[in-house]
Amino acid sequence: MTAGTVSAAPRGAAVTLAGALNSALRDALRADDDVVVFGEDVAVLGGVFRVTDGLAREFGDDRCFDTPLAESAIVGTAIGMAMYGRRPVIEMQFDAFAYPAFEQLVSHVAKFRARTRGALPLPLTVRIPYGGGIGGVEHHSDSSEVYYMATPGLTVVAPATVADAYSMLRRSIESDDPVIFLEPKRLYWQKESVGLPVDTGPLGWAAVRRSGTDATLIAHGPAVPVALQAAEAAAADGLSLEVVDLRTLAPFDEETVCASVRRTGRAVVVHEAHGFAGPGAEVAATVTERCFYHLEAPVLRVTGYDVPYPPPLVERHYLPGVARILDAVGRLEWPARRTAAA
Amino acid sequence: MTAVLDAPMTAPAPAGLPRETALALYRAMVLGRAFDTTATTFTRQGRLAVYPSSRGQEACQVAPVLALRPTDWVFPTYRESVALLTRGIAPVEVLTLFRGDRHCGYDPRAHRAAPQCTPLATQCLHAAGLADAARTAGDDLVALAFVGDGATSEGDFHEAVNYAAVRRAPVVFLVQNNQYAISVPLAKQTAARTLADKAAGYGAAGVRVDGNDAPAVHRAVAEAAERARAGGGPTLVEAVTYRMEAHTNADDDTRYRPREEIASWARKDPVARLERLLLADGTLDEAAAAAVADEADGLSRTLRRDFETPPTCDPAEMFRHVYRHPPHRLRAQAAALAGELAGAGDGERADGEQTDGEQEEGS
């Protein structure tokens, strides 16, 4: 199969998450002449994770190009291109290497529409591979979502499945607002049988990935498969856990989350990012505010520790796993008959 | 005077300038001076929260705008009020940011003028990106970014000139070297001989021009724009000038610069200098000068009259343009604020949300 025919893959063909992102970029470049892809090493090399593989060859240097090694320049020039009418899709090579561009993202990308009262919306997508679990050396494993979630004007999305990776990237590129598109590094090589192109619906909606009746696990990105494993393990113990994949972090889908928690009465938020002022703090606060009288127990969080991301040889002790999730579930104030089971 | 200032100009004053251009420069600078003086008066009357004066920098702000085409884009900082006025933006719209009713008083697309930028040097990258997009589209527009001497120390300035040079993006970086970044003199910003010298490190063209000589600035920018349009890449134009007022009305410049220094630059005033030049060579006569002065008086009068009417602010507007489709939370917060304003809502609840608890308490 050539790279150019990925999106015509037969329904059900196995495709990696990175491959689905590549197809989404290719299909977006084909669908709209204003889409441009640029960043560090994205053209000749095809990106350090090969997400942009083959795009420069197919679409030429004006549509997909390597920039000088300067992240603020990548975001800042994307703003100018969007002002001109382009739809830039830019790559920050790694989570922690996006920080030099923080001022452009927070002071300009997030605010341009508001400060010009709609005259200059910025339809641009910032792709950021994020999170750990890949044995990366220092500064290659940050879960940086909360910095963007805390900035009004940004839409922050974090797909966890191959189908969502494709669909949500297409939807992000089509959005007239700037989108921070967080790619779960450790799921890049995960395969699913998905026919592309696929549309999983508009941004802004969570999805129930597994139905359950006893408690709700709320996760996003790389924590979703871990939450699903925990639900599977709990089922063996007779506990029925529902798993909600947030998918979009800002604005997040309070309705789907709260509807689930109202059904189950218990909730655990799971993510890889730090717990203190982390993404789960907002979810837990919202659930508590809106579902208080349905809750049988305090909303708990299972998160990364409040430490700088540790060296790769000990990262397995940092990352929230099935055991920690089940431990939290066990602490959800179960009636006596449940305690033993949990 | 420091050694940096003694470095030679590399863009000398032109011998001749078309009469229409010379008169247009003169008119716009006189109008700009009147506008600036009126705005400074507003700060003393409390009608403007803050105002960074352009006084003394009129040649640097007027000449670049008049050297560009209407199809070109300008990227101003907060100090470019006179440049924006020259671009054709209504005086009251130029001052909206400082009056405080809106972040940007004009339509950036209509005037091809980006919103006034307060984060330093960040606009240089916007100019580079817009110009690069135009280049790949075969559009011959040029983007001009205004930037100050202090901002040349910022990382974004470096990234922008480098990017534009690598991509041969049609950009003019117009550095107004007014000698101070608030209180910090140029000698503490750079060890370079001149700011124009920095261009060499990027492989860009660099020229240094007397920023109080309007015809010289006009020619330097016109040449830079022409080079950019022809595919020659960006030019860094250093215009050497002086900020006659404090940084803003909130600043006290007696703490960091001697009065004699200001007096010495007053003798180089760009408006008076151009007037002397044009009267001497016969381009301007007393009657024409008087007509421009009348027009400037009219501008000030109109601006004062416009400021008699307090701005109308709609607090709900803060929610309106954050996203194309306001999400649930913003709609709820907008509704809560509307309730507060109507005096009918529950002002103690920030999100205007019907909580689960309250629903159940009522049942």
For B132-153, what is each residue's pLDDT tens digit? Answer: 999 999 999 999 999 999 999 9
Q: Give CA–CA dist A296/A64, Å, rounded.
A: 53
Known catalytic membership, residue A220: no
Number of other residues whose CB lies within 10 A of the CB of residue B236 = 28
Mean pLDDT of B190-200: 97
Give the H or E element holding residue A192: strand A191-193
Tens digit of each residue's pLDDT (9 = 90 or more) over B253-278: 999 999 999 999 999 999 999 999 99
Structure ipTM: 0.94
Q: Is the pLDDT of residue A318 over 70?
A: yes
Q: Which distant-in-sequence residues (6+ apart) come within 8 Å of B210 by Cβ?
A: B9, B13, B216, B217, B239, B240
What pLDDT score does A11 carry? 64
Percent of chain A topping pLDDT 90 = 94
Binned at pLDDT 50, 70 and 90, residue B10 comes out as confident
| DSSP letters for A246-274 | --EEET--HHHHHHHHHHHS-EEEEEEEE
Q: Please tell me whether the overall predicted TM-score, pTM, comes out greater than 0.90 for this model.
A: yes
> Could you read off the pLDDT of A49-94 as tens digits, one per residue?
999 999 999 999 999 999 999 999 999 999 999 999 999 999 999 9
Q: How confident is the model at residue B167 (pLDDT cuts 50, 70, 90)?
A: very high
Q: Domain coordinates of chain A in residue numbers?
A: 13-193, 207-339
CATH number of A207-339: 3.40.50.920
Q: A100 touching B, CB under 8 A?
A: yes
The pLDDT value recorded for residue A342 is: 45
Count of all residues that appear for chain A in the document:
342
Q: Which 8-state DSSP code applies to residue B208?
A: E
Model confidence band, residue B344 (pLDDT cutoffs 50, 70, 90): low
| Residues in A 242-301 with any Cβ partner in B closer than 8 A | 251, 254-255, 258, 262, 289-294
More confident residue, A260 or A8: A260
Strand order in the sheet with A267-274: A207-210, A241-245, A215-219, A267-274, A300-304
pLDDT reading at A337 higher than 70: no
- The distance of A242 to chain B (nearest Cα, Å) reads 21
Give mean pLDDT, residues A301-308. 98
Interface of B with A in 144-173 (CB under 8 A): 155-156, 159-160, 162-163, 166
Class assignment of domain A13-193?
A: alpha beta
Neighbour count for residue A336 (Cβ, 10 Å): 6
Q: What angle do CA B135, B115, B124 make, to 5 degrees?
A: 45
CA distances from B340 to B38, B336, B352 (A): 37, 6, 10
Query: Per-residue pLDDT for A43 more than 90?
Result: yes
pLDDT in the model for residue B357: 41
pLDDT of residue B6: 59
Backbone angles phi, psi at A244, to 5 degrees: -105, 125
pLDDT digits (tens, 9 = 90+) for A114-163: 999 999 999 999 999 999 999 999 999 999 999 999 999 999 999 999 99
pLDDT of B291 strictly over 90: yes
Contact predicate B106/B93, CB 8 Å: yes
Are the C-beta atoms of A159 and A212 separated by less than 8 Å? no
Phi-psi sector, A277: left (phi>0), alpha (psi -120 to 50), beta? left
* A72/B125 touch (CB, cutoff 8 Å), yes or no: yes
Residue of B nearest to A251 (CA): B327
Chain B nearest CA to A193, separation (Å):
33
**What is the spatial distance between Cα B351 and Cα B34, in angstroms, rounded to a whole number?**
47
* A67/B357 Cβ within 8 A: no
Cα–Cα distance between A112 and A78 in angstroms, integer? 13
Nearest to B154 by CA among A105, A103, A92: A103
Strand ranges, E, within chain B? 73-75, 143-148, 171-177, 180-181, 184-185, 205-210, 235-240
The CATH class of B3-308 is alpha beta
In whole angstroms, how far apart are CA B48 and each of A64, B98, B310? Answer: 46, 6, 11
Residue spans of the domains in chain B: they are: 3-308, 317-362
d(CA B217, CA B237): 9
From CA B119, how far away is CA A292, in angstroms rounded?
43
Q: Does A68 touch chain B (CB under 8 A)?
A: yes
Whose structure tokens read 């470019």? B80
Q: Nearest 5°: CA angle at B182, between B207 and B217?
A: 25
Radius of gyration of chain A (CA): 20
> Contact B200/B45 with Cβ under 8 angstroms?
no
Cβ atoms within 10 Å, residue A241: 26
Please answer whether residues B171 and B142 qualify as being in contact, where contact means their C-beta atoms are separated by less than 8 angstroms: yes
